[in-house]
Amino acid sequence: MLRIITSISLSLFILASSNARPLVKCRQDSLARQTSSDEWESGNFEALEGLTVRRIEFHGIPNTPDRVVRRAIWIKEGDIFTRAGLERGIRRLNRLGLFERITEGDISWQKGKDVFTSNEVDFIVRVKEKRRR
């Protein structure tokens, strides 16, 4: 069920539902700033099979709404990670035609470090928007 929340002072309309994902763009490098860059890895996605996707951030999308990219990526926060899902998400992002070609090399990941997050993984997807005509 959708609810409309309005703010009179800002004339801002926000649609939300009980199971909606946040529609706010992520701050540039917010996950990457929490840890040093040498702790982030690329490739070897087979080692992540079966882990829970805790967070996905997209960097390099100043003009594209975050929700458009999240809808196309196929893997979602809270899902169990599969290599097939990642490959499908990359294909779908490339089909959007909004970005330069995205490869697995553009995706960095980091496994949780403590007891509570050891079965979770965070991703940063770095993309470059194509020039608008």
Sign, CA dihedral 34-42-62-95, equals: negative
Domain ranges of the chain: 19-126
| pLDDT score of 3 | 38
CATH number given to 19-126:
3.10.20.310
Token readout for 109 is: 């990941």
| pLDDT score of 26 | 42
- Distance between start and end Cα atoms, the chain: 38
| pLDDT score of 25 | 42
C-alpha distances out from residue 63 to 19, 66, 81, 91, Å: 25, 9, 28, 20
| pLDDT score of 5 | 36
Regions in the chain scoring below 50 on pLDDT: 1-29, 33
Predicted TM-score (pTM) of this structure: 0.69
| pLDDT score of 95 | 96
| pLDDT score of 34 | 52
Token readout for 115 is: 């007891």
